[in-house]
Structure 1
Amino acid sequence: MKIAIVGAGIAGMTTAYELARDGHDITVFEQRSAVAEEASFATGSLLAPLLPSAWALPGFGQPLRLWGADATLRMKGGLSVAHLAWLRRWRQTALRKKAPAMALEALARYSQTRLEAMAARHELDFEAVKGRLLLLRNEAELAAIEPALQILRDTGHAVHQITPEAARKLEPGLHSETPLAAALHIPGASAGNCRLFAHMLRQAIQGLGVTFELNATVERISSNPVAITVRGDTQARHFDAVVLCTGSAPAALMSPLGLVLPLVALHGYTVSAPLREATHAPVASVTDVAQHINITRLGQRVRVAGGAELAGPGAAHHAPTLQRLYSAVNEWFPGGVQLSAGVQIWRGARWMTPDGAPVIGASGIPGIWLNLAHGSHGWALACGSARATADLIAQRAPEVSLEGLGMRRF
């Protein structure tokens, strides 16, 4: 089949890879001048498991603080009625624990397996690290994330509660004076550099004959016949199928087709800083459960991720949110990173549904497929979502259940 993929973030790149390996003729359209330039640019780096992440599914993590200087979900001026309606649905999902947690965690684990196979096949070194510690300051924090931990156990993840002393043996750089009641060790967890992986994968994809069209903005998708219109073209380009993997305002392409999803752009922050003293920096990855902040070693850098904003267009960086990220890395790993020079600050938009899960599979319109709205979990779900999408297009049953992740739930 001749297939167009819209979007060259991590979802688009992995989907192109899987479809090309199945023998399809693939063209990837990306509005930026390079791959992985938007939501995949400087992710929080975490792969499976999902639920202990800084921004877990609604109802499966530490309660979010919506007001005050230390709010973990910040709302800024310029919000629309759609923003407020989304937030209301998000909170209802959290209270009722209706998010498809089991399916999503299973998909993340499957995705991790697929990613490791791809990396081994093409010898991709993407600064991967193994293992994660969840840092707990008190028993209340442990109780809050217990529903998430049970899902992890049910999906086969090993989770070990350990003492502060044992945690500091695994992560010697942890500051001895920072209060720590206990920690949870997830030895099978992993993390890595999403953007680096995407760029390496592009080389492998080109060997499979995939065509990339960069600086190409898709303005319209037609369904009968299946075609796309690229800005500047005088005629539509015809394909057998189109897969929407766009992380940039997907509603603009979906709405004219009659496809409506409750999506908003939730912005998150990362700070990437060079190592100052390796023995004082993290070995792998840790999560400050109360603060919803992840700190991960990526080669010769450390990435600190956290913060969440519902904001109108053009919102500036929020200094207090960034300060919390700086404070967290200094609190847990003082002296480990250099914060006075060579620091990269990133604020990215992540399109999310009210249940925090992506939309994968048939759109309901012949020839139009969806693999989008992964939110903050795009990196963790990309390889599994891509393989499942390719299987569906080939009319094969995916190896992992996608129950609760399709278009029909909305």
Structure 2
Amino acid sequence: MNILLGITGGIAAYRAAELARTLTRRGHVVRCCLTDAGSRFITPLTLASLTGQPCFGANPDYHEWRPNPVIEHIDLARWADVAAVVPATADIIGKTANGLATDLLSTLLLATTAKVLWAPAMNKAMWAHPAVQANVATLKGFGHTLVEPVEGLLACGEEGAGKLADILDIADAVEALAGPSHRSFLGRRILVTAGPTREDLDPVRTLTNRSSGEMGVELARAFRNLGARVDLVLGGELPAPWGIETHRVRSAQEMLEACRKVWPDADGFVAAAAVADQRPEACAPEKVKKQEGPENLTLVRTPDVLATLAGEKRSGQWLLGFAAESEEHVPNATVKLQKKHLDGVLVNDIGGGRAFGHQANTLLPVTAAGQAEPLGPLPKDQLAKAVATWWGDWLASR
């Protein structure tokens, strides 16, 4: 994807370097356009070095990158799939909302037909001013996307709404705007579970597992970027991804209850959470002292989230499960596929602890038709994209 990153004159401009690097590492082509004020906070050389692409606007040497004469604002406007203004000051917001073209960035924002994203950053009083809010409403009326500033410590020393949003959230928002959709997911609603569950023994101690939830969160992002509306039921401590309805849970029972609220209206379910199989029979209301604690714990079964939803499956819905296996991978996955009436299972080889805490992973897809080609080894974000694409193709072929 071709991403034009507009950088204006706010102290948060230095964080645009991190965004440029993040998007470049995700495989996108990023070109930066600096305003004169933006170039006082970050240099064209820094941005060009991070992206490997020319930096336009406030760089007197950028013609060295483009030996043939072109009309820059039209050329860049046509080149971009997404134009993201980060940080967006009150000045550039006001210019674009009112059709003003006073420099390269403001001019190409009027000329582009690409999708446009704004990530404002400014003093809290400026952000709350009626004129700024009216201009923001105008931009939304144009169909532009807004990643709102967050609460935090501002450069002026005040606390309040005006701080640039998290860079990973902005990167997610950019990818969601112009990612290639898949016909199997466009306009569909998908329920995804991720992370561990925790079953409390007392207010301090808990039974849990080593799952981070990273793979499930990346799957939620991948399905969203292919056009789906995603509901994420998330255990653990990972931050919720931008633009995804996230339901925080702790126990297996809470996960089941959250899923059952969404499942009747969903088209599919991706069960990527590591749900505890047992819980303590009782949770002590106070911390149990070492000397008073029992030598043996009585455990009882937790609800089987995937099996329960499979039993409530209506015509047209699908279920994709995961199986963490250390041996007999395909036979065990086939048993799970048949027993729980799933449409597909992704086998995660955890032999030697490979699945936990490792950035690169491999998944083995199994359907009623048998074993498919392995996916990976890949970093989890790329593996999630591969899974979503494979599953979309499989659904389309049915």
What TM-score range do you get, normalising by the shorter chain? under 0.3
Q: What is the TM-score when the length of structure 1 is the normalising length?
A: 0.26
Q: What is the TM-score when the length of structure 2 is the normalising length?
A: 0.26
Q: Whose RCO is larger (CA < 8 A, sep 6+)?
A: 1
Between structure 1 and structure 2, the one with the greater Rg is: 2
